[in-house]
Amino acid sequence: AQSVTQLDSQVPVFEEAPVELRCNYSSSVSVYLFWYVQYPNQGLQLLLKYLSGSTLVESINGFEAEFNKSQTSFHLRKPSVHISDTAEYFCAVSRRSGSARQLTFGSGTQLTVLP
């Protein structure tokens, strides 16, 4: 079975500081990995994904994540955060359930950017 662990439930950080949100997964097979962001009272938006190829993936708004197979991690980083980055962030792994491909999510990390 696959599972996802997000090690920090809350991460407060000052504006323009760097941030890292940690994610570890367990899987015995090759995986697809994702980071989603959820703003208050909204659904999930895909931030970035790892399917194959380069282990470093980037989003259009400055976030990046690195797939580390040996450490089974997919940590999310941003070198300089903005107030608008305040949101809940979910790490997820894609796995098969019958014929379906479902997402298994971590419990989330609340990122709060302070002025």
* Complex with other proteins: residue 73 or 109, whichever CB lies closer: 109
**DSSP-derived 3-state class of residue 84:** helix
* Complex with other proteins: residue 17 or 46, whichever CB lies closer: 46
* Complex with other proteins: residue 14 or 39, whichever CB lies closer: 39
Q: Which two tokens stand for residue 16?
A: 């323009």
Torsion angles phi and psi, residue 38, rounded to 5: -130, 115
Residues at the interface with other proteins (CB under 8 A)? 4, 32, 36, 41-46, 49, 51, 90, 92, 94, 96-108
Least Å distance between CB 115 and other proteins? 25
Under the phi-then-psi rule, with left for phi > 0, alpha for psi from -120 to 50, and beta for the rest, what region is 109? beta
Least Å distance between CB 42 and other proteins? 6
* Nearest alpha carbon to residue 30 among 96, 105, 91, 79: 96
